[in-house]
């Protein structure tokens, strides 16, 4: 057991959530369990605000895009699940596009993303986005140097058009250390319920770490603009990262915080 607990900490651990947190930690850790109870409390409060944000968007025909980028196993999917699990599924979409078809390869690069933009009252979450061409594609040889440069020359204007059309755009980059990525890959490989997450790209991610870093820095340098900035979320600790992601989304959209729901 950990150090002596205060009465307030004991009260937290003797709740239903506290007991579940204790039982889920192996080895038993009151410190981690207390952090998890606090996280659940913060998460519930923030998810109420997300419902308020969505209600405001529906009532006012607002359109919202939230882009998630980051290294493999950085926690993008987990953060998106916490953002979406309590809001109305009829007014939101999660977009995780597969590799382009042969027809799509002949189209303007941004075209298939334009087709996924939100309608009135809708929030669209991109689990990776057009920014694949800024990092993943050049690192893995999926685009030419010319295609990469064309993208980098067009992306800021593309986002300017999105914003000028009245769509709210939030760009989030989930950042983890090389050591943490290796740890998460090992967990995925050893867990039968998670093994499906491991892709061929994931297998090469550690070997290509430095190349990813070079293109990531170039992406920030050229696309972190005043009207469309990036928010980097430190994601080595998943629960803390999820809270920070939701807080950033809520702080980025000028919704009515006094709206009754």
Answer for the pair 65, 168: CB distance below 8 angstroms, yes or no: yes
pLDDT in tens, 166-188: 999 999 999 999 999 999 999 99
β-pairing, 230-234 vs 92-95, is: unpaired
What was the pLDDT predicted at 30?
A: 75
- Residue 1 confidence (pLDDT): 44
> Tens digit of pLDDT for each residue in 17-29?
654 555 455 555 6
Q: What is the pTM of this model?
A: 0.89
Write the pLDDT tens digit of every residue in 184-204.
999 999 999 999 999 999 999
16 confidence band (pLDDT: 50, 70, 90): low
Instruction: Name the 3-class secondary structure at 125.
Output: strand
pLDDT, residue 92, reads 98
pLDDT at 12 over 70: no
DSSP string, 63-101: EEEEEEEESTTSSHHHHHHHHHTTS-GGGEEEE---SPP
| CATH code that applies to domain 8-252 | 3.40.50.300
Question: For the chain, which residues make up each domain, given as ranges?
Answer: 8-252
Residues 6+ apart with CB under 8 A from 139: 208, 211, 212, 215
- Per-residue pLDDT at 19: 47
Omega of the bond leading into 6 within 30 degrees of 0 (cis): no
Separation of CA 61 from chain center? 24
Task: Kindly report, residue by residue over 49-73, the tens digit of the pLDDT.
Answer: 999 999 999 999 999 999 999 999 9
């Amino acid at each position: 057991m950990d150090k002596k607990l205060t009465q307030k900490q004991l009260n937290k651990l003797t709740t239903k959530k506290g007991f579940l947190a204790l039982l889920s930690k192996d080895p038993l850790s009151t410190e981690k369990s207390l952090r998890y109870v606090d996280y659940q409390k913060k998460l519930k409060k923030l998810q109420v605000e997300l419902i308020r944000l969505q209600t405001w968007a529906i009532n006012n025909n607002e359109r919202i895009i939230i882009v998630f980028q980051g290294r493999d196993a950085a926690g993008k999917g987990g953060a998106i699940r916490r953002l979406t699990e309590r809001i109305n599924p009829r007014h939101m979409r999660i977009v995780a596009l597969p590799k382009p078809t042969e027809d799509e390869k002949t189209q303007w690069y941004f075209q298939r993303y334009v087709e996924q933009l939100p309608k009135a009252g809708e929030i669209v979450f991109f689990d990776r986005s057009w920014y694949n061409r800024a990092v993943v594609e050049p690192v893995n040889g999926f685009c030419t140097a010319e295609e990469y440069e064309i993208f980098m020359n067009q992306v800021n204007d593309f986002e300017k058009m999105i914003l000028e059309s009245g769509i709210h755009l939030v760009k989030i980059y989930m950042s983890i250390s090389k050591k943490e990525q290796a740890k998460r890959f090992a967990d995925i490989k050893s867990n039968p319920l998670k093994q499906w997450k491991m892709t061929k790209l994931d297998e090469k991610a550690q070997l290509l770490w430095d190349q990813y870093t070079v293109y990531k820095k170039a992406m920030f340098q050229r696309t972190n603009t005043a009207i469309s900035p990036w928010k980097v979320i430190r994601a080595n600790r998943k629960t803390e990262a999820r809270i920070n992601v939701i807080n950033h989304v809520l702080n980025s959209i000028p919704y009515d915080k006094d709206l009754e729901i």
